[in-house]
Structure 1
Amino acid sequence: MAKNKTLIAVGFEGSANKIGVGVVALDGTILSNPRHTYITPPGHGFLPRETAHHHLRHVLPLLRSALDDAGITPADVDCLCYTKGPGMGAPLQVSAVAVRALSQLWGKPIVAVNHCVAHIEMGRIVTGAEDPVVLYVSGGNTQVIAYSEGRYRIFGETIDIAVGNCLDRFARVLTLSNDPSPGYNIEQLAKKGEKFIDLPYVVKGMDVSFSGILSYIEATAVEKLKNNECTPADLCYSLQETLFAMLVEITERAMAHCDTKDVLIVGGVGCNERLQEMMRIMCSERGGRLFATDDRYCVDNGAMIAYTGLLAFAHGMTTPLEESTFTQRFRTDEVQAIWREKSICGE
């Protein structure tokens, strides 16, 4: 291979109900990014064991598709990247095992990647955001983040369940379809809501709490619907407005602390158009900009793992085979982001 060849990585993401394989070049060019989602019947969540079986069935076909779509062979690959965590244990194991096997078959180095940091780096390269405050919202995580002194620092987060988990669990109460996702179907139903139902609003400093709101709306939903006091659309509308107002509040507080005007939304819930609208209004009132993407990049995907792993690889970071494990707990601020050169907060 030529010495000036662009570095290329293959990334495997499988921390929850999506298995994805992405091929990315160091300049951020996404060569391919196929994925497959494990969808359960309405009213049901996804269990680790069944989700892992789904990932096992699809990981090799996705790899073949990713290589074919990118027009590359294993010889063109410089490193193999995978999600180390956070996430669900059994699904995480599938990607870790696949990468360990391929590393030995292809003779390629491994790079373990933090799922949360990968969302941030994918959002930055796709939108062009340089140093925004980041709102990371997904089924398993809710954090307000800014880069400072070599790490992505968490300024605020959920103290119980994630915002995506809250939405997903309420979708089960209403037995909404999980195709393409429960959160998406709540969003569509919320657009038809006309009556706002008061719900608890729980912001504690820079942190938020969603479990009490979920318990309250679960307890009242059945009675209100039975008595024709509201519609399912009204409940979805009220829940979204309340949760997203809380998220906008803590994001704005972090912006004031960091003295910045730009916000980047990442994670699966970041696809929600109403959340983007509310955040955009707040940013514009502060003279700033909102950066957001669509479901190609907000939702878990292999390209975000490949790109973030490639950033680390280009700066000399690799993961020894014996350390290429996985963990359900892997905080955003544990990662030394050596590829970053400047920050907006604390420097």
Structure 2
Amino acid sequence: MKLRIFLIFAICTLISCKRDPKISSSQWISISKYVQYNEDGDVLKLKSGKFTYDFKKSQIPFKKVVLLNASMAGYISELGAEYIIVGVSSPEYIFSEKIQRKIKEGSIQNVGNEQKYDVEKIISLQPDVIFTNHVASFDNTYELLKNNGIQVIFLDEYMEQKPLEKTAYIKLFGKLLGMDQKAEAEYAEIEKNYNELKQLALKSTEKPLVLANEMYGDVWYLPGGKTSVANYISDANAQYILKDNNEEKAVTMSFEQVFSTAKGVKYWVNAGSHTSKKEMLNMNPFYSKLDVFNKGYVYGIAGREKEKANDFFESGIVRADWVLKDYIKIFHPELLPDYQLTYMKELQ
């Protein structure tokens, strides 16, 4: 997943992929809105979005993995399982120091980028599995890989809009990598932290009005009222300007529409990965007309960024508790007086 669109986003003869599983929904264990699994004797059945897979128990745990999305690295790093990764795409977008070190050492190979994957190199690595978002334009590439005996699993975690359901993918990785207990424990800790932070946020009597995201060209892409950003803002006991909207995707507005909607906004969050307000104005001078830009508080997501890599889209995908803690610190700083922001950064 890349910075601006964070957001982009079958199998060999041993795995069958079909669109309509003939198993009753009551038999599936739900990981999230889009992912469920079922253990039926010697077979692990996985449903991810519109795809389903059957794995014989002898096929797992996977021991050699290729990742085609930086967000996938967040789950594997959280489990301390970087040693199973043999290839990644677009390594410049991966934040993990441990993975970057392995890339430099050569134990993890660069297998291309979102424009063109190096299929020959992937095949030569002989991975047990490839984890990736499903991108329809790469269907021919996926078929070629599957025809060479490589399993391809599509996980579209970017579509999950409830923060803890996005986190819960760690339980699926634990199941597929033979690290069930560790994954369950990691999830339980994050869930506990998250729920305790939600309760802490409710101690504040103030519920400030919040604006989010930024413009690209002439369009402002605001998170819909049911997106993960909107859920984070709500759980941090703040009021998002589109809280009554029911979209789980971005809502497009002109600057004029945002200007008329953003009266009374105190905080502007997720304002890109800019380093200063001056840089923002160079991108779009209209920002200077917003009261929140001049009198409020503006926060970008460059708190953990190295060149093209941003950990907000890596470990931040898993650590919903850390992300929520950042928002609470921003909206209600008195509740977390000693905490320093992890992913967010105030722009001066």
Q: Relative CO higher for 1 or 2, CA cutoff 8 Å, sep ≥ 6?
A: 1
Q: If the length of structure 2 is used for normalisation, what is the TM-score? A: 0.31
TM-score if structure 1 supplies the norm length?
A: 0.31
More helix by share: 1
